[in-house]
Amino acid sequence: MAHSHHHHHHPPAGDLPGEAPLDAANQSLADAMRASFNILKFVMVILVVLYAFSGVRIVDEDSEAVVFRFGKLHRVKESGASVAFPYPIEETLIFATKKNNAFRSLNLWPKVKEDQINEPLSKVRSMGTLNPALDGLLLTADNGIVHIQWDVKYRVKDIKQYVLHVGDESTTEVEAMITSLLDDASIAMVANYTAEDVTRGATTEVAFKVRTIVNERLDQLGTGVEVVALDIPHSSVPGPTMTAFDNVAKAQSDRDKSVQEAQQERIKILNATAGVAWRELTTYVDKEGTRHIGLLDRLDAAISESDESAQLALEAEIDEILENEASGMAGQRIRLARGYYTQVVQQINGDVDQYLAVLDEYLESPDLLVHRLWEQTKQRVLQQDGLTKHFVAGSADELRIHIEPDPEQAARDEAEKLRKESEGYKFAPTKTLHSIMP
């Protein structure tokens, strides 16, 4: 039986029944779509690769990276490459924790134009009144008003606390928080100082105490932030009062200068009077402001309180200092008085010795002793320098002598007097011979 074989032939595209062959335009469109699809696949592959590596961040040496996993703090990465799963599985935030950030706070400064911030208020706000809604100000202990600018330097010292409680990658929030704490601390601290102290005398001290308060509050809030430096670049009283304030400050400066000059003159006089011993004798205030009560004031107090034992002890201590420690004019007078005392005692002792030496002779022959002593005295007198001698004849009935000072002798006497005074013999008495009378 013969089998018939049916051969099925598949016609080429476009040759199927009911399908018209593609023209050239449609063929070009199909080719373009296939090419676009291939490009889209390539782009999608690139996007997938980029997404897979989107968690890789490079951390600078002055920064730290904080990695969150599903919104919770997972780890902290130091400088270098930080690898993390792509968002939203993990998220990486980078914070500059190893360098100081800085900003200037103008909350407590009057409202001025930006280019006038560094200008004195007497120039840019010399007239008008203050508007509390626009102009920052502080009240002082002497009921004055001052304005302050703050230069703030801060750093993140604890990255975990900073991220959990602040979480500000752009520093805007943390600087606003520091400014608010700075304003509160300034109000509390400046109220304890005068306008002069805040603007001139104690700016460093005020800044230190305000910084201490701000850091305490930052620690209490758990911010992980620390203010490392706080300076006052500009501080001033209101512009309209600047002239009067300067005049008062100048008057106080002149007063302080006069007091200082008076103190220096006092010390100079006391040093010239008693040397360094005056510090023990008189009351004074040292450079640190400590008041030292001198022995003389303590003695006056003991006398007024009728404390005889304390009085005697203080007098003995004062005498000891004057005799052994005092220099200057007081010490010189004490030494001269001591020398004069010694000289007088020696002279009296010499007179006593002389008296005792001639006593026996006087008892045996008083007239002879008197005659001998008289002759000795005449010889001593006649031998003195500067003595003018006149010899009178025994037959002369009358002698008139016109006595005038010898200018040469006067000059010699004056030179001798000056020499003795320079050697410390100002109080030395003239030697005389004490006559011994029966």
In the structure, what pLDDT confidence band is assigned to residue 266 with cuts at 50, 70 and 90?
confident
pLDDT tens-place string over residues 378-393: 888 877 776 667 677 7
pLDDT > 80? residue 430 = no
In the structure, what pLDDT confidence band is assigned to residue 14 with cuts at 50, 70 and 90?
very low
Separation CA 156–CA 9 (nearest Å)? 81
Fill in the amino acid letter for 277: A
- Lowest average pLDDT, out of 26-35, 236-245, 290-299, 391-400, goes to 391-400
- CATH architecture of the domain covering 100-237: 2-Layer Sandwich (3.30)
pLDDT > 80? residue 40 = yes
| Model pLDDT, residue 354 | 86
- Angle, helices 328-364 vs 366-382, to 10°: value is 140
Between residues 76 and 270, which one has the greater pLDDT? 270
CA distance to 59, 60, 218, 225, per residue, from 98 (Å): 12, 10, 18, 12
Please, are residues 109 and 183 in contact by the beta-carbon 8 Å criterion? no
Please, are residues 175 and 132 in contact by the beta-carbon 8 Å criterion? no
pLDDT > 60? residue 127 = yes
Separation CA 265–CA 279 (nearest Å)? 15
Long-range (24+ apart) CB contacts under 8 A made by 330-334 are 330/273, 330/274, 331/274, 331/275, 331/277
Please, are residues 207 and 230 in contact by the beta-carbon 8 Å criterion? yes
Considering the chain, tell me which residue range(s) the CATH 3.30.479.30 domain(s) occupy: 100-237
In the structure, what pLDDT confidence band is assigned to residue 434 with cuts at 50, 70 and 90?
very low
Between residues 321 and 203, which one has the greater pLDDT? 203
Between residues 400 and 225, which one has the greater pLDDT? 225
- Give the mean pLDDT of the chain: 78
Question: DSSP assignment, residue 115?
Answer: G
Burial of 429 (0-12, 13-18, 19+ CB in 10 A): exposed
pLDDT tens-place string over residues 193-250: 999 899 888 999 999 999 999 999 999 999 888 999 999 999 988 877 777 787 887 8
Q: Give buried/exposed letters for 350-389 (b at 16+ CB in 10 A, else e).
A: eeeeeeeeeeeebeeeeeebeeebeeeeeeeeeeeeeeee
Residue 67 sits at φ, ψ, to 5 deg, of -105, 125
| Model pLDDT, residue 85 | 59
Element (H, E) at 437: none
Please, are residues 242 and 168 in contact by the beta-carbon 8 Å criterion? no
